[in-house]
Structure 1
């Protein structure tokens, strides 16, 4: 698993005189599930938005390389064509479209009609609650149902890299378990994932490798299973 899918080098993000991200390096190799953990406000979401070019006006420096090519200057809507998909914090579903229409939007870069229909059927099998509500407006769904839909929609594009931003946020424990089951299954299919998550224990249990971010800096990195038993991680992020 040595081939870089994503490589971030010297990334800084500054809003005026305030540096939210302070020169970080991270990489995600083909087939890996990498967790980026840290306290609220550490700069994790800002990092994902810098990767995808979805930040509000600010000063961004450093390099972001995806599949060996720079993403500098790419507009975010072109990333899906390059097989890079993101499930943003807050889900970002199309609230005035049905579940079915949301899934179709996820596949807008594809033209294999039979494959698209097969994938919709697949995600309805994974998330039966979506199938039951296929024609319901996405904005009327619960938070957990919207998270299911956002993940399924992103996966409809057949991404080579999936970015997940706080997928467990605001969900019930049962729903969190379901979402992480799907994340592990998607990873097992070979899809490369960068997971930003405040629930450090769940994230590291699912991941191959992890990074800890604190106050805009990467303060630790390593094998995820080793990090789970590291006293510093346990004390700061696992409540142990």
Structure 2
């Protein structure tokens, strides 16, 4: 899918987040354009998840400064449950599935803003084809699934709303290598369908291999940005994040 580099889907400017005297995010700028897969990499505690929570309005009480625009409109004051109506979906760290609902019910919840019942059923069938394990267990409670199965479900549920922007927070965390490969294959496939993605990920190598562009975050600040393939071969990125 060709990337439209002229159209901002997400634009973060001068974002600062402080918890009391602790500055978690220190005035960062990030842009994600139409059709791009952009990754935000960095060590644990760098401020990556805080940045995603600032976008979705799910931060605990803290001081937030700067601007966050989605499709040219400010997200300030937007309640998180309205974001899905605007086709902005997030797969949170820890998956966040509805544990006491079945797999199928979770997918239906992902489509709660839609009224096209036939289309919803088509999408459920589509994601069951992508993730056959979910199809086999469609009536099973989500809370009884393995971590990898829950990650599959969380991604499929987010995609049920046909998002214009998909936020992914640490999708590989705690998964087996085989499951990580499966999840990243789906991320690449979704990107090739033209869905715009902002990916937060500690596995810098996989993230940069999948992405068009990357940002490196360290101690609340953006320290590097560029073409993802160039960053893969940058000695500084190799030394700090790729173990080379």
Q: TM-score, normalised by structure 2?
A: 0.98
Residues 1:139 and 2:152 aligned together: no
- The Cα offsets for residues 88-124 of structure 1, whole Å up to 9 and x where unpaired, read as 0000000000000000000000000000000000000
Match of 1:213 in 2: 217
Aligned residue for 1:158, secondary structure, equals: coil
Aligned residue pair count: 240
Aligned residue for 2:25, secondary structure, equals: strand
Runs of 4+ displaced beyond 2 Å = none
Match of 1:176 among 177, 180, 187: 180
* Correspondence list, 1:25-104, <5 A: 25-104=29-108
Aligned residue for 2:151, secondary structure, equals: helix
Match of 2:16 among 8, 12, 18: 12
- The Cα offsets for residues 147-175 of structure 1, whole Å up to 9 and x where unpaired, read as 00000000000000000000000000000
Aligned residue for 1:121, secondary structure, equals: helix
* Correspondence list, 1:131-210, <5 A: 131-210=135-214
- Unpaired runs of 5+ residues, structure 2, are none
Match of 1:238 in 2: 242
Question: How far did residue 25 of structure 1 move?
Answer: 0.2
Question: How far did residue 213 of structure 1 move?
Answer: 0.1
Question: How far did residue 199 of structure 1 move?
Answer: 0.0
Aligned residue for 1:117, secondary structure, equals: helix
Question: How far did residue 126 of structure 1 move?
Answer: 0.1
- Unpaired runs of 5+ residues, structure 1, are none
Cα distance in 2 for partners of 1:142, 1:60 equals 36
Question: How far did residue 61 of structure 1 move?
Answer: 0.5
Q: TM-score, normalised by structure 1?
A: 1.00
> CA-atom RMSD, angstroms?
0.3
